[in-house]
Amino acid sequence: MKFKKQLFGFMDMLRFKKLVPNRRKALANGPATPLPQTYRTNQLAARLHPGYMQVELAAIRPLTATMGEFTFKRLDSDAFPFFRSGQYVSLQAKIGESLVSRPYSIVSTPRDALENKLVLGIENAGFFSSYLNTQAKVGDRFVMSEPSGEFHYEDLRDKQRIACIAGGSGITPFLSMAGSMLDGTEAYEMTLFYGARDLAHIPYKAELDAMAAKGLKVVYVLSDQEAPGYEHGFITAALLETHIDIKDVTFFLCGPQAMYAFLLKELAPYGLPVKAIHKDATCCPDLPMDAPRTFTLTVHMRDQVYTVPALENETLLTAMERAGLNAPNKCRAGGCGFCHSKWLAGPFHIAQDRDGRREADKKFGFIHPCVTYPQGDMEIDVPLAY
Ligand code: FES
C-alpha cells in the first residue's frame, strides 16, 4: 500500500505533537475555581423528570357515593413536573405488609401543577382504591411517580376536532383535557360524551356544567334513567352522528373494557384508521377463579433472592407487591415497559391483548410482570424500583 506524503499531513503531525503541551498550558492558565457539581441542564432535567416524588394528601372531597377526589402536594414544595393532559401518575403506599401502587389519571391541569397541586379522582373499587376512599386521611404521605402515558392529544397525529367518550370514573383524564382546552394550553376542539347510569352517578357534574358554560360541548348519556336534557341509552354510532362528524374527529375513549368493545364495534363500519381511536389502558385485573392454585415465585432483586407465593389468577407484580417487594411499575397494563424483568424459569401466560413487549424482549426472555400470570413455579430477575 502506498501513502502519499503531503505537506498538510506533516503539519497535522506537528499539531498533534503540540496537543498535550498546549492542553497543559491551557489548564495551568485556567481559573482555580472548581468545576460546578451540577449544571443547569441537569437541574432542569431533574425537575422535569423527578422519577418519584414524596407527596402528602392535602384534601379529600367526596364526589359520589362511590368516588372521591384527592388533592396532593409535594413535600419538597416544588411544582409538579409538566405533563400532558390525559396522562397518569402511579401512587404507592405501604398497607400492612404489602407495598401497593395503582396508576390514576390526573384530573387537574398542567397549569395547576405549577402551583404544587395535583388532583386525582378515584373510584372505590379494588384494594388500594378502596383503602384511599375509606381510610386515607389528610396529611398521609405517599410516593408518586412522575406523570406518564401516551393517552394525550398530539397535534401532528390527531385531528383538530376530538371526541372524548367517558364511562363512569373514566371521566377523569377528560377533565384535565377540557381544562387545558379552556385555559388555552391545548388548541383542539373537544366534544365530551359522558355515559353514566343515572343522575346520581355523574361525578364532577357541577365542574362540567361550568366548563360547558365556557364552551366545552358535553353530551350526557344515561343508561338507566330518562331525564330532560339528557340522552338515554348507550353511546351508539347513531347517537354520535347527531353531534359530530365521525370521520372528522379523533376519538379518545376512557372507561371499562366492555365500553371499548361496544364502541369499537359501533365504529367498525366507518373504517377509521388505528390512529383515529385512542383507548386509555386499564390495569390487568385478578382473574375470576373459584380455586386458584398457588405457585412459588423466586425473585432475584439486586443481590437478594426472595421466595413469594403467587396465585395463578393474579399477576406476578401483584404477588411481589403482596410480599412487600418494591418492584417497578407504572401503567400496570403492559404498555409502558417500566416493569420489564428477566424471565429465568417456569411457565406463564400473558393476558390477552396486553403483550406490549418488543420483539427483542420476547427473543431474549424478558417479560412484563404486570400482565403475566404464573402457570407453575417461576423464577424472575427484577430491577429495584428506587
Ligand atoms: S407497569 Fe407498564 S408495562 Fe408493566
CATH of the domain at 322: 3.10.20.30
**What digits encode the pLDDT tens for the residues 340-354?**
999 999 999 998 888
- 211 and 254 inside one domain: yes
Number of domains in the chain: 3
C-alpha distances in angstroms, 155 versus 109, 278, 336?
Answer: 18, 14, 21
ipTM score = 0.99
Q: What was the pLDDT predicted at 353? A: 82
Q: What was the pLDDT predicted at 179? A: 98
User: 292 CB less than 6 Å from ligand 1?
Assistant: no
Mutate to test the pocket of ligand 1, among 90, 339, 357 (most ligand atoms within 8 A of CB): 339
Task: Locate the ligand 1 atom nearest the alpha carbon of residue 337 and give its number.
Answer: 3
Q: What was the pLDDT predicted at 219? A: 97
- 268 and 226 inside one domain: yes
Considering the domain boundaries, does residue 64 fall inside one? yes
Boundary (domain end) residue, out of 279, 303, 328: 279
Q: What was the pLDDT predicted at 1? A: 55
- 268: which residues sit within 8 A by CB, 6+ positions away? none
User: 382 CB less than 6 Å from ligand 1?
Assistant: no
Q: How far is the CA of 331 from the centre of ligand 1 (A)?
A: 5
User: 336 CB less than 6 Å from ligand 1?
Assistant: yes
Q: What is the distance between the alpha carbons of residues 215 and 329, in angstroms, rounded to a whole number?
A: 38
- 300 and 371 inside one domain: yes
User: 334 CB less than 6 Å from ligand 1?
Assistant: yes
User: 244 CB less than 6 Å from ligand 1?
Assistant: no
- 185 and 272 inside one domain: yes
DSSP per position, 38-76:
S-HHHHHHHHH--SEEEEEEEEEEEEETTEEEEEEEETT
Q: How far is the CA of 239 from the centre of ligand 1 (A)?
A: 35
Q: Which strand (E) or helix (H) includes residue 333?
A: none
Considering the domain boundaries, does residue 191 fall inside one? yes
Considering the domain boundaries, does residue 332 fall inside one? yes
Q: How far is the CA of 330 from the centre of ligand 1 (A)?
A: 6
Q: What was the pLDDT predicted at 63? A: 93
Q: What is the distance between the alpha carbons of residues 308 and 306, in angstroms, rounded to a whole number?
A: 6
Are 143 and 104 in contact, with CB atoms under 8 Å apart? no
Task: Locate the ligand 1 atom nearest the alpha carbon of residue 334 and give its number.
Answer: 3
- 129 and 218 inside one domain: no
**What digits encode the pLDDT tens for the residues 278-314?**
999 887 788 888 899 999 999 999 999 999 999 999 9
Considering the domain boundaries, does residue 5 fall inside one? no
User: 255 CB less than 6 Å from ligand 1?
Assistant: no
Q: How far is the CA of 177 from the centre of ligand 1 (A)?
A: 24
Considering the domain boundaries, does residue 31 fall inside one? no
Q: What was the pLDDT predicted at 288? A: 85
Backbone angles phi, psi at 70, to 5 degrees: -125, 125
- 203 and 267 inside one domain: yes
Task: Locate the ligand 1 atom nearest the alpha carbon of residue 332 and give its number.
Answer: 1
Boundary (domain end) residue, out of 213, 248, 279: 279
Considering the domain boundaries, does residue 275 fall inside one? yes
Task: Locate the ligand 1 atom nearest the alpha carbon of residue 317 and give its number.
Answer: 4
Of 287, 288, 298, which Cα lies nearest the Cα of 344? Answer: 298
- 124 and 54 inside one domain: yes
Q: Which domain holds residue 265?
A: 161-279
Q: What was the pLDDT predicted at 5? A: 60
Backbone angles phi, psi at 87, to 5 degrees: -80, 170
Boundary (domain end) residue, out of 279, 305, 321: 279
- 139 and 183 inside one domain: no
Considering the domain boundaries, does residue 263 fall inside one? yes
Considering the domain boundaries, does residue 111 fall inside one? yes
- 137 and 177 inside one domain: no
Report the CATH number that the domain containing residue 85 is assigned in CATH. 2.40.30.10
Q: What was the pLDDT predicted at 98? A: 87
For cell 376519538, what's the residue?
Answer: 251
Task: Locate the ligand 1 atom nearest the alpha carbon of residue 331 and give its number.
Answer: 2
Q: What was the pLDDT predicted at 131? A: 94
- 170 and 103 inside one domain: no
Q: What was the pLDDT predicted at 8? A: 65
User: 332 CB less than 6 Å from ligand 1?
Assistant: yes
Ranges in the chain, pLDDT < 70: 1-8
Q: What was the pLDDT predicted at 386? A: 78
- 138 and 178 inside one domain: no
- 116 and 201 inside one domain: no
